[in-house]
Structure 1
Amino acid sequence: MLMLLSFIMLACFIYFLMSKKLSALTALILIPTLFALIGGFYADLPRYVIDGLKMVAPNGVLMIFAMLYFLTMTEAGMFDPLVSRIVGAVKGDPVRIFIGTVALAFIVALDGDGATIYMIVLSAFLPIYKRLGLSLPMVCCLLLQVAGLGNMVPWGGPTARAATAMHVDVGQMFVPMLPALLGCVAWTFVLAYLFGRRERARLGGAIDLNGDFAERSQHRGQGGWRFYFNWLLTVALLVGLCLEVLPLSYLFMVAACIALVVNFPSLKAQHDQLALHAPPILAVSSLIFAAGVFTGVLNGAGMANAVASGLVQVVPDSLGPYMALITALLSIPVTWLVSNDVFYFGILPILAQTAQHHGISAIEMARASLVGQPVHILSPLVASTYLVVSMLDLDYAESQRFTLKWSFISSLILLAIALLTGIVPVFAH
């Protein structure tokens, strides 16, 4: 009964979200609450919710102060020279803009964190997108492709989880996957080119942007010692994030306060900045804590484990020799439905036990399990996705519908190259 209730709840969540009957915020809170009450979990429901909120609280605080930091730096004009250089390089051409977006995003993605990608790339490019009138769903799609792939670096969450769950060396698991990952990187650049060509045709060619952004930089009066201080502070912050000298959320809290005090010394100016940035920050943080309710109920009531068990049970024993391929295909929808922890520590070990009986190694199963990551980044359980959607002022469900098919193609390309190179076997030998 719990398994059936869980699948019905997830089906209702997807329906109400995609049909735009409910917003992401209301769906994440109301649907799990309703099904928890139907399942008779009303006595434990408060505990589930509090546990879920505790789980997302670090990410929520991180997003709030990371947004405050980068938005403050943008208002201070730190990115204006960068934007001016980019404008000179792209010459108002949508193809160059989208390719430049992807190139910068992949460089930033080396830290394995999607939120950093969105903050830095959109701080530089968002004024250009808006001035040209480029398709923001296309921008969102490209950034999500990069984040999904960047999340797979060895220090990213999924790869480390897969290696830990399968008790294999993360380096030995990851290095043979590089050709498949590089193939997906190349595909992302191709997608940027295709999107750019489409936008170039729609807009009727390139647009001269130099005058607009020269006036913008002059209006902000960028220059002086604060400009160099802001970049030094940002570099120090990024180094601190990579070295994990302090909790990430605390680092951004301190950095945001320093940025406010240095760039806007008067109390009134600081209040004005907080008032200016409050709407986008509230939009993101409210979605993250709403996702905490969804996650808390899903995990606390045992629904996530019930979904995992149900999915494993539908795989007949006769398909054992194809377990690596099945795991790769299952990872595409399943990592959208459940968290990476549930998939890698709950589902993958069970699938690996069956695979082992047919001669499929643990390291092959670990690689196969990563195929769904380009789609996983779209999951309502991924906090950073709400950030990029909010920063681009898009509807969550519409961005899902637009991006899903392209992310699915990325996963299939990843799988195809993995099969061709033999790092994921089609069947047991």
Structure 2
Amino acid sequence: MLVALGLLMVATFMFLIITKRATPVVALILVPVAFGLFAGAGLGISDMITDGIKDLAPTAAMLFFAIIFFGIMIDVGLFDPVVRAVVRLVRDDPARLVVGTAVLAMVVSLDGDGSTTFIIVTSALLPLYLKLGVSPVVLTVVAGLANGTMNIVPWGGPTARAASALKISPSDVFVPMLPSLAVGLIIVLLFAYHLGVMERRRIGRIVIRERVLVGAGGDTVTTTGGDGPETTAITGGGDGSDADRPDARPRLFWVNAALTVVLLGLLGADILAIPVLFMIFAGLALVINFPKVSEQQAAITRHASSIVSVVAMVLAAAVLTGVFAGTGMVEAIAGWLTHILPSSMGPHLAVVTGLLSIPLTFLMSNDAFYFGVLPVLSETASQYGIEPAEMARASITGQTVHMQSPLVPAILLLVALAGVGLGDHHRKVLWRAAVVSVAMLVVGGLVGVIPV
């Protein structure tokens, strides 16, 4: 019963947001509440949701202050040189822009944090998408694919979780998967190029000025975002000088650059909790760039809409995760899967685990999958001579799909910053992500690091 309810709950949620019959926030709240009550949660559903909120509160705080920090860096012009450099490389070609998006997302994803990656990529490139008339959905798709594929780096989360759950070294999991990672990234680049060519054909080549500044003033125009909704872009007008941008702080460029580098370095060093880091550095960014209280209040207000939409979705997602865990649906689905697998599949459990990781890590958190499902499957697989490291390698191949899940706060941040509907993103990204994940699994089998 719980298995059926859990699967039906997720299916209902996905149907509502993809068909745009409900906003993600509404679906994330009302669908789990309805199914939780039907599952017999009663008044206990309040404690379940509260537990979910407690778990995701640090993430909400991190996103809140991360948006403020990077929003300020955009306002003061820190990323302007990056945008100008990309413009010189991209020129008027959407295909180059989209491929460049994939490359930038791959490089930035080396820090292992999806939220940071999406903030930087969106901050630097979204203005170019809008000025060229390229659909922002393409940005979210390519950035999501690149980051999801890179998410198997040892410090990214899933590899460490798989290694911890099976008591093995993360390097034993990751290093043999380098060929799979390389192929996955190549496929992402091919998808990016194809999407770019499609956009090039759709909008044609548009001549733009070489000098494009993030947030430059100008007239408001409306461009059609491909399959997505219409997006309002600010183009033209002004000469991109600091006089046109009252919030620009060219004299503080190196101070802001140093502040950002130190922040990213501390994020990688994992010395302090990420929410605490962003809170501290957001405060420093406000004081350094806007000494007056009125200016600080205005700087925060400018990004209020992004903050509200992202934090609302994270807290709404806490309802889904809380009900999922509190009602026992996660455990029920894990147990059901282990029981329905026929004994004839025993020698092929590594491949089965890789295939299961694609939908399961989309439907549940990495913690639930790697600490709840993987150990059970690995114990069964050991009876057929399959090593824990081999099971762990197979289990991380589904991460490209996992990163598109509404349960992942980073993807909610990405679509919010790009002004893209989650359903629009899913329609274009899910099948491509599944192709990348399956390809990584196949390559792992071909090179012998995942037994078939």
Which category of TM-score, normalised to the shorter sequence, fits these structures? Answer: over 0.9
Q: Which runs of 4+ in 1 moved over 6 A?
A: none
The alpha-carbon distance between structure 1 residues 198 and 2, as it changes in their structure 2 partners (threshold 3 A), is closer
CA drift at 1:283: 0.3
Paired residue secondary structure (1:324):
helix
Aligned to 2:399: 373
Distance 1:404 1:322 in 2: 25
Counterparts of residues 402-417 of structure 1 (less than 5 Å): 402-417=428-443
Residue 261 of structure 1 is matched in structure 2 by: 287
2:267 pairs, out of 232, 241, 255, with: 241
Matched to 1:80, the amino acid is D
Counterpart code for 1:257: G
Query: Which residue does the alignment assign to 1:23?
Result: 23
In 2, the alpha carbon distance for the partners of 1:76 and 1:211 equals 17
Aligned to 1:123: 123
1:411 shift after superposition = 0.7
TM-score, normalization by structure 1 = 0.96
Is 2:367 aligned against 1:336? no
> What is residue 215 of structure 1 aligned with on the other side?
239
Instruction: Say if 2:87 and 2:211, in contact at 8 Å, map to a contact too.
Output: no
Q: Retained in 2: the 8 A contact 1:80–1:217?
A: no
Question: Per-residue displacement from partner, 1:41-89 (whole Å, max 9, x unpaired)?
Answer: 1232111111100100111100010011001110111111221122122
- Is residue 87–residue 212 contact of structure 2 (8 Å, CA) maintained in 1? no
Q: How does 1:268-347 map to 2 (within 5 A)?
A: 268-347=294-373
Q: Distance in 2 between matches of 1:217 and 1:47?
A: 54
TM-score (norm 2): 0.91
Deviation at 1:249, TM superposition (A): 0.6
1:305-345 CA-to-partner distances (Å, cap 9, x unmatched) read 11111222221112111111111111111111111111111
Indicate the residue corresponding to 1:182 in structure 2. Answer: 182
Offset, 1:423: 0.8
User: 1:107: Cα distance to partner?
Assistant: 1.2
> Structure 2: which amino acid aligns with 1:238?
L
| 2:30 counterpart SS class | helix
Q: Is the 8 A contact 1:92 1:209 kept in 2?
A: no
- Offset of residue 195 of structure 1: 1.5
What is the deviation of 1:199? 1.5
1:36-47 matched pairs, under 5 angstroms: 36-47=36-47
Aligned equivalents of 1:396 and 1:249: distance in 2? 24
1:88–1:7 CA distance, 2 compared to 1 (3 A): closer
Q: Which residue of 1 aligns with 2:137?
A: 137
Per-residue CA deviations over 1:158-192 (Å, capped at 9, x if unaligned) read: 00111111121111221010011011111111222
Structure 1 residue identity aligned to 2:127: P
After superposition, the Cα gap between the structure-2 partners of 1:202 and 1:19, relative to the gap in structure 1 and judged at 3 Å, is closer
Conserved? CA contact 2:84–2:210, under 8 Å: yes
- Please, which runs of 5 or more residues in structure 2 have no aligned partner? 214-237
Partner of 1:82: 82
Instruction: Output the amino acid matched with 2:330.
Output: A
Root-mean-square deviation over aligned CA pairs: 1.5
In terms of mean alpha carbon deviation, does 384-393 or 347-356 score higher? 347-356
Matched position secondary structure for 2:397 = coil
Kindly provide the amino acid, as one letter, of the partner of residue 411 in structure 2: T
Deviations, residues 103-125 of structure 1 (Å, cap 9, x unaligned):
21111110111111111111111
Query: How far has the Cα of 1:217 moved from its partner?
Result: 4.3
Which residue of the partner structure matches residue 101 of structure 1?
101
Distance 1:56 1:385, change over 3 A: same
- The aligned counterpart of 2:225 is none
Q: How far apart, in 2, do the equivalents of 1:341 and 1:217 lie?
A: 48
Helix, strand or coil for the counterpart of 1:371?
Answer: helix
The amino acid of 1:317's aligned partner reads S
Q: Decide whether aligned partners of structure 1 residues 227 and 4 sit closer, same or farther in structure 2, where only a CA change above 3 A counts.
A: same
User: C-alpha displacement at 1:212, in angstroms?
Assistant: 4.7
On the 8 A contact 1:162/1:344 being kept in 2, the answer is yes
- Whole-Å Cα distance in 1 between the matches of residues 55 and 399 of structure 2? 21
In structure 2, C-alpha distance between the alignment counterparts of 1:130 and 1:383, rounded to whole Å: 24
Letter of the structure 2 residue corresponding to residue 70 of structure 1: F
**What is the rounded CA distance, in whole Å, between the counterparts of 2:167 and 2:152 in structure 1?**
17
CA distance in 2, matches of 1:389, 1:189: 20
Counterpart residue number, 2:64: 64
C-alpha separation in 2, matches of 1:5 and 1:123 = 40
**1:211: how far off?**
4.7
The aligned amino acid for 2:451 is P
Q: Which moved more, 1:367-376 or 1:193-202?
A: 193-202
Letter paired with 2:388:
A
Matched letter for residue 239 of structure 2: E
Q: Tell me whether 138-147 or 83-92 shows the greater mean CA deviation.
A: 83-92
In 2: Cα distance, 1:383 partner to 1:45 partner: 22
State the Cα distance separating 1:260 from its structure 2 match: 1.3
Describe the SS at the equivalent of 2:429.
helix
Partner of 1:2: 2
Query: Which runs of 5 or more residues in structure 1 are unaligned?
Result: none
**What amino acid sits opposite 1:347 in the alignment?**
V
1:276-319 Cα deviation digits (max 9, x unpaired): 11001100000001011111111111111111112222211121
Identity of aligned residues (%): 40
Q: Judging by fraction of residues, say which structure has more helix.
A: 1
CA distance 1:217–1:140, change in 2 (3 Å): farther
